[in-house]
Each structure stands twice: as C-alpha cells, then as structure tokens.
Amino acid sequence: MSENTVAARMAELGLVARRRPRARSLTRQGKRPAAPALVRRKFAAVAADVLWCGDVTQIDTDEGKLYLATVENLFSRRLLDYAMSEHHDAALTCASLQMAAASRGGDVDGVIFHSDRGKEYAAARYQELCRRLGVIQSMGRVGCALNNAAAEAFNSTLKVEYVHRHRFRTRAEARLKIATWIADFYNTTRRHSANDGLAPITFERHIIEKRHASSALLRTAVA
C-alpha cells in the first residue's frame, strides 16, 4: 500500500502519526581495558542464569533526565532487576547488578554478563563487583548496536510501547510508572517471540515444570 493511501486513510479516521524521537547513544568508552566479546551476537542461553545482558538508557522527564540500568536474563528475556538514577555512572550499573544478583538468591557465580564498553561497565568499581559476585564480563565493541542487540531490543520495547506514550512530570513519577510497567506487564504479561509466545516469568515456570516432570519420569523408569 502506498504512503499516500495510508496518509489518506489516517486522515479519514482522524489518526495522527506519532513521531519517533531520534535515538541518542549514551555509550562513552572507558579508559580501562574492555572485557572480551564472549557472546558474539548469540543472545540465547540453554538455562536460566547462564547469560545475562544489560544496558543504560535515558528517560526524559519535565524535571530532567533519568537513567535506567537493566539486567536481563537471556534464557527467558526476563528483566531480573534494574536501577534508576539522575546520574549516569558506575554506581547506577553496580546497583542494577547487585539487585539482579539478590533476586536470584545471591548465588550468581559463573554467570556471563554482556554489555557495551561504556565507562559505567568498564569502571574499576563495576569490575570489582563482578569479581566479588563471580560474574564474568563480556563486552561488544563500541558503535554497533547489534553487539548488544538483546538489551537494545528491551530499551526499544520500553520506549516505543510505554515511555514515548506518556509524559512524566517528575523523576519520581517516571520511576514508579516504569517499575510498574516492568513488574505488572513486561515480565508477567507481554508475550515474547523468543519464548514461544509466552511472557518471561510464565516461560521460566513452564520450563521448570517440564524439566521436573521429565526428571520424575526418568526416576520412575530407572526404579
């Protein structure tokens, strides 16, 4: 269908296109050595808590900028946890990783965490936290969104489906509404193609139940 036909039909229906804001990269490469790219654009995991990814994105409010740092489980595309701050620094990314680890009971030794090479992830403070938790860092190169495509995809979903449709008068309002969207919609309700059309938490439960059933059948067969 031609662009003019679409425009005419929209006019008949009283529809107005929503202009998509220009994307702005927040990545500023740090001076410290970057971790190797262990993921190599293969954003899939065979089990939960094998491979995580994360990124920092900017949310605009009438009060000023708010930054969101995320940690996503690539097995189920579940957003394990996140942190928000008016400052774009290592304290923010450390907070998101600590909360994600806590959400998994604190035992995350051996988990690979993939990110870009931003200074927030290359900072000594963040690297020390990873060592303390046993998290193995992986970093894609700067200037190519495909090297952290899964995290970028979540940011896009958040912006297109929610943030760009709302106006936040304060940072506190943005924090509350984004947290609610993540907890009450994205993780629990929104279907994901990588999960056979299931929401992240539903997919995790489905796989756990399926594996328990398979283990029970195997024990019965052996007995």
Q: Map 108-153 to HEC letters.
A: CCCCEEEECCEHHHHCHHHHHHHHHHCCEEEECCCCCHHHHHHHHH
User: Dihedral (C-alpha) 126, 172, 54, 211: value to the nearest 10 degrees?
Assistant: 110
With the C-alpha atoms ordered 155, 160, 164, 165, is the resulting torsion angle positive or negative?
Answer: negative
Ordered by start, the domain boundaries in the chain are 26-222
If residue 215 lies in a helix (H) or strand (E), which one and from where to where?
helix 200-222
Token pair, residue 198, equals: 């299931």
pLDDT band at 64 (very low <50, low <70, confident <90, very high): very high
> Per-residue pLDDT averaged across 183-206, rounded?
95
Dist. CA 57–CA 158, nearest whole Å: 10
What pLDDT shows up at residue 26?
63
Q: In sequence order, what are the beta bridge partners of 53?
A: 72, 114
Does the predicted model carry a pTM greater than 0.95?
Answer: no
Question: Domain 26-222: what homologous superfamily?
Answer: Ribonuclease H-like superfamily/Ribonuclease H (3.30.420.10)
pLDDT-based confidence at residue 25 (cuts at 50, 70, 90): low
**Tens digits of residue pLDDT in 197-209:** 999 999 999 998 8
Tens of pLDDT along 164-183? 999 999 999 999 999 999 99
Q: Determine the pLDDT at residue 22.
A: 59
Average pLDDT, the chain: 90
Q: How far apart are CA 204 and CA 208, in angstroms?
A: 6
Q: Are 120 and 126 in contact (CB under 8 A)?
A: yes
pLDDT at 192 over 80: yes
Higher pLDDT, 72 or 26: 72
